[in-house]
Structure 1
Amino acid sequence: MNIKQYLDSTYLKTAAQANITEEENTEVVKKCIQEAIDYDFKLIMIRPDKVALAKKMIQESNSKVTIGTVIDFPLGDGTLDDKLREANEAIINGVDDLDYVVNYEAFKRGELDIVKEQVLQGTKLGLENNKIVKWIIEVAALDNHQIVQLSALIKNIVIANFSEKEYEKVFVKSSTGFYNTPEGVPNGATVPTIKLMLENSCPLPVKAAGGVRTYEEAVEMIQLGVKRIGTSAAKAIANGEISNSDY
């Protein structure tokens, strides 16, 4: 198993969140991009304002690493126009994967028309530009029934509006890694939540994001059936080490 080709190496902290300067944060991003190139990970996942930097570094290295970014992150409560504007800019800058945050609070309020239209139009924009699209449902904000419902909602929209050959390009993704949970409660992927997602999003692929920090945990997720793993511990996973990473 080439585990590196499942790994979306991730760094999504702003300078303020990392408690460092903008310049220092850019250097951290550069280091993460270079690490993804050196280790030949599947993808480097960074904030939208760093997509052009990643594109430049990857092209200069003649690397096959792809570039992902997050849209309407981390809350997902922007308007449809907000989402599409941000996604369009990332496309212009050379992104490969668009990881949108679903408006999960609107979903929880029963405002399904908002959610359906955002998923439809966001997916349409990505696929029309030959991008991979992922929808982050934020499992830590949902109960099991809601995880089932939201995974199925995304699946049903894709099946109803896009061709079968495009299903593999639209993922359901577990988490942002930024959701605040009570102390000790996971805010990322867990085996039970991933099982629910896999059962209810099929035939769409699933990305397990957050909480996968060791080679063994990554293998377990892959054996369950996930196609991608989002983690800030990609290097440790690839080396068979244990990481104290928070995502």
Structure 2
Amino acid sequence: MNKQELINMIDYTLLKPVATKDDIKAFCNETIEHGFKAVFVNPYYVEYAHSILSPHRIKVGVPIGFSLGGATTHTKVEETKEAIKNGAEEIDMLINLGALKSKEFNVVRNDIVEVVRASEGLTTKVIIETALLTKEEKITASELIVEAGANFVKTSTGFNGGGATVEDVQLIRSVVGEDFGVKAAGGVRTYEDAANIVEAGANRIGTSGALAIISGNTSTASY
């Protein structure tokens, strides 16, 4: 995996609740400089980030139902619509964890279906927060996401403990098959982490540490 291939897989993120407008501007300038294809910012900053990045054909993505997933479906749908109106081109929604734990699988599926519908064909990823789930729940969640018509299963927010692991990525890939998206997020901090996660089956990486990742391990990276 060479440097450009890695850059093309990374969703560069700045989701800190205390991020300022100046932080977002600097973050967007880093994105332009290094050639990342997509960034993720909180809904409040979507329009601002889009105004900076759209001339460079860099997508702005947004988390929906972040970071707990417990919002109603109606709220997630309206949040999605507003984000798209403001320039969002990718949607990362958090699954309804309480409903999943309660085995209310129709609720979980419908929640995803409605956000996918509101996304109007944009790439939609669904975060399952692997650190909070049993193996069986990870399998069930992944199956529901495929059934609901989303595009990716995403491991984690990085805000609720744990993060992407090789084992979880391998498990998700085994459930969704070769052609479905798997996004690893949370805890991917080095080139080695990224390489291991990609080998395990991820085809997208979400990270706030993108600069460290792409500059690391030059002895084994084919730049």
Count of aligned residue pairs for this structure pair: 214
Q: Which residue of 1 aligns with 2:172?
A: 197
Superposed CA deviations along residues 81-102 of structure 1, whole A, max 9, x for unmatched, are: 1000100000001111100000
**What is the aligned-residue RMSD (CA, Å)?**
1.6
Q: Which residue of 1 aligns with 2:205?
A: 229
In the alignment, the residues of structure 1 paired with residue 203 and residue 116 of structure 2 have an alpha-carbon distance, to the nearest angstrom, of 18
2:43 aligned with 1:40, yes or no?
A: no
* 2:62–2:83 Cα contact (<8 Å) kept: yes
Q: Is 2:11 the counterpart of 1:4?
A: no
| 1:125 matched to 2:125 | no
The secondary structure found in structure 1 opposite 2:22 is: helix
**Counterpart Cα distance in 2 of 1:77 and 1:30:** 30
Q: Provide runs of 4+ in structure 1 moved above 2 Å.
A: none
Q: Is the 8 A contact 1:40 1:64 kept in 2?
A: no
Partner of 1:171: 152
1:157 Cα shift? 2.7
Post-superposition Cα deviations, 1:170-218, rounded to whole Å, max 9, x if no partner, equal: 1110001110x4xxxxx11001111111111223210000111111111
Structure 2: gaps spanning 5 or more residues:
218-223
1:95 aligns with 2:85: no
1:78 corresponds to which of 53, 71, 74: 71
What secondary structure sits across from 1:177 in the alignment?
A: coil
Structure 1, unaligned stretches of length 5 or more? Answer: 16-23, 159-168, 182-186, 242-247
CA contact (8 A) 2:110 2:148 kept: no
Read off the aligned partner of 1:199 and give its amino acid letter: S
Seq. identity, %? 35
The equivalent position to 1:57 in structure 2, one of 52, 55, 72, is: 52
